[in-house]
A and B are shown apart, each in its own frame.
Chain A
Amino acid sequence: MKHSLLWLVLLPGCDIFTVPATDAGTDDTGTTPPGTTVYDALSFSEEELRSDGDGRYVVKVDVPAGATSFQVTSTSPQLPALESVTDPDGNEILDWQDLIQSPRSLTNAIYPQRTDVAFNWPIREVDGALKPGKYKVEWALVDDSFNYVADGKVTASTVIKRDPDFSQGEVHVRIVYAEGIDQLPKVTNAVEAAVEHWREVWGSVGVTLVERYDTSDLDASLDFTWSGDPSVKKIADTKEPGELQLIVGETVRGEQYIYGVSAGIPGTIEPTKNTFVVLAWTTHAGPDGNFSDNDIMVMGETMAHETGHYMGLFHPVEGTWNNWDALDDTVECNGQLQCNRDLGENLMYPYSLCGGSTCRSQYILTDDQGGVFQRAVGSL
């Protein structure tokens, strides 16, 4: 199925963000020209494929001149995993075996964890600009026991972005309340206040958060979190084409010790069973069930952190202190004390650092982290 702007405009329930003709705007400043939408920067395509006898399949991405990044999403009843990427000159620019052996994480697309897996390219500035021509993105298809699956069905969706300005961007997020949550004013007020903090944090790297709110009949226990669910796709089918989706529930998978989860690093912007970041309000409200100012601050940082994963960011260091992200300007620290000191205020730090009734605000994003944001197809 080919997507087109006309098709999107005609979709029932779609509220395309059209810029009024009276608004000033030019291409070269990165703002949206009059009479267009931010989603004009995206083009979509989709194809049905089958894995070969070795359980592999190739998605060819035809990159036109002017394109700046793409995302490929593989959807299958089995588990897709990225194997390699070859550029139009025939150079293999990414291999899963290199990545899996490296202590520095670049994409989780190499791991067969879900039935919907997304891969962004380029991810960082050092990955270089896209070249016009055909990229070959090779995938494997495996079952739950990690055996290759021959002749398995796959839907491959490709989104290509034309956005030459990697210093500024809008990220549109639809915040969806699970059933009944919108009837709890203390929760909706806290969510809206937390979103303001999220906006500030992302704003530091030129990302403008554009959010809207919606309700749903999703069960508030968010039981779908680990494997996705058709009910999520049904909700995602009505989102805008470039939007991310943050679902607010009471718990995450019925467990009040999990406060938020991103369905991928990166996550897909296509509507799938796994198109979500989830957030549990009760875990942020804490034992008293009410939101203090500090609870709201950390909830805003959870929103920014988990959607940061969805855009492609890893923790700058993992809690084992011997795995890092693949970015040059996040300090490669070793050990808790050094990492707390050097990275403790980074948005993507894996721990919250608190004392008494307050936590350190984790609001910092480095230039390279901002670069990952800006290249993601969800940043327009």
Chain B
Amino acid sequence: MWMLIAGQALANPDLDAVVLALSARDAVSCESIEALTSTPTATLVEVVDTVQMPPWAPMRAANCLIERHALEIHPQLDQWVTDPNLAGLNRLVLGKLDVMPVEIAVPVARKALEGTDPELARTRIGASKVTEIRAVVVTP
């Protein structure tokens, strides 16, 4: 019933299945999540924006977006590292800089230094294994 309520409130027909998969207690691969929807990027963004519980559902959705669609969600990434109400997503992005294409990771890293937790950003960016990303803390 709870899942049905969640489904009725949302227009995206794939959302129920994606949210259920993201709510699993065992880790689910991004590939299998995305196989449940014909619009993976839009659906996963919708999950991040609208689903609150369980807390790992939007976090897993954001993780898949970062790992597989970073170039498509540049505006969201900028928001996640600067919005004070998204401190958890900020940590997620800062922990994933190295898996993003460098052309998106560098500007997002710069944005994070102006964000809500510049000290954390400086530490995480400085620990990057990618020279171009690490350079952001030297030449912002």
What A residues does B25 contact at CB under 8 A? 259, 302, 305, 315, 349-352
Q: Which of A250, A287, A298, A349 makes the CB contact (< 8 A) with B89?
A: A287
The verdict on B54 contacting chain A, using a C-beta distance below 8 Å, is yes
> Given contacts A257-B27, A350-B25, A351-B20, are A295 and B3 in contact (CB under 8 A)?
no
What B residues does A351 contact at CB under 8 A? 20, 23-25
- Complex Cα spacing A336 to B60, Å: 21
- Sample (30) of A-B pairs whose CB atoms are under 8 Å apart: A221-B95, A255-B27, A256-B59, A256-B91, A257-B27, A257-B56, A259-B56, A282-B92, A284-B56, A286-B52, A286-B88, A287-B55, A287-B58, A287-B59, A287-B88, A289-B87, A289-B88, A302-B25, A315-B25, A336-B20, A340-B1, A350-B26, A352-B23, A352-B25, A354-B51, A354-B53, A354-B54, A356-B5, A356-B6, A359-B2
Contacting residues of chain A (334-380) with chain B, CB-CB under 8 angstroms: 336, 340, 349-360
Q: Which of B3, B60, B64, B80 makes the CB contact (< 8 A) with A353?
A: B3
What B residues does A352 contact at CB under 8 A? 23, 25, 53-54
Does the CB pair B2–A353 fall under 8 Å?
A: yes
- Complex Cα spacing A351 to B28, Å: 11
- Complex Cα spacing A282 to B89, Å: 9
What A residues does B59 contact at CB under 8 A? 256-257, 282-283, 286-287
Interface residues, chain B, with chain A CB atoms under 8 Å away? 1-3, 5-6, 9, 20, 23-27, 48, 51-60, 62-64, 80, 85-92, 95
Does the CB pair B3–A257 fall under 8 Å?
A: no
| B63 to chain A: closest residue by CB | A257
CB distance from A297 to the nearest CB of B (A): 10
CB distance from B68 to the nearest CB of A (A): 12
Interface residues, chain A, with chain B CB atoms under 8 Å away? 221, 250-251, 254-259, 282-290, 294-295, 298, 302, 305, 315, 319, 336, 340, 349-360
What A residues does B6 contact at CB under 8 A? 354-356
- Complex Cα spacing A319 to B36, Å: 15
- Complex Cα spacing A373 to B90, Å: 39
CB distance from B76 to the nearest CB of A (A): 11
Does the CB pair A258–B27 fall under 8 Å?
A: yes
CB distance from B91 to the nearest CB of A (A): 5
- Complex Cα spacing A95 to B42, Å: 49
Does the CB pair B48–A287 fall under 8 Å?
A: yes
| B7 to chain A: closest residue by CB | A355
What A residues does B56 contact at CB under 8 A? 257, 259, 283-284, 286
Does the CB pair A287–B54 fall under 8 Å?
A: no
New A-B pairs, 10, CB < 8 Å, besides A257-B59, A319-B26: A257-B63, A257-B64, A285-B88, A286-B58, A289-B87, A289-B91, A290-B88, A351-B24, A354-B6, A357-B52
| A341 to chain B: closest residue by CB | B1
- Complex Cα spacing A356 to B5, Å: 9
Q: Which of B3, B26, B58, B95 makes the CB contact (< 8 A) with A254?
A: B95
Q: Which of B5, B53, B57 makes the CB contact (< 8 A) with A357?
A: B53
What B residues does A358 contact at CB under 8 A? 53
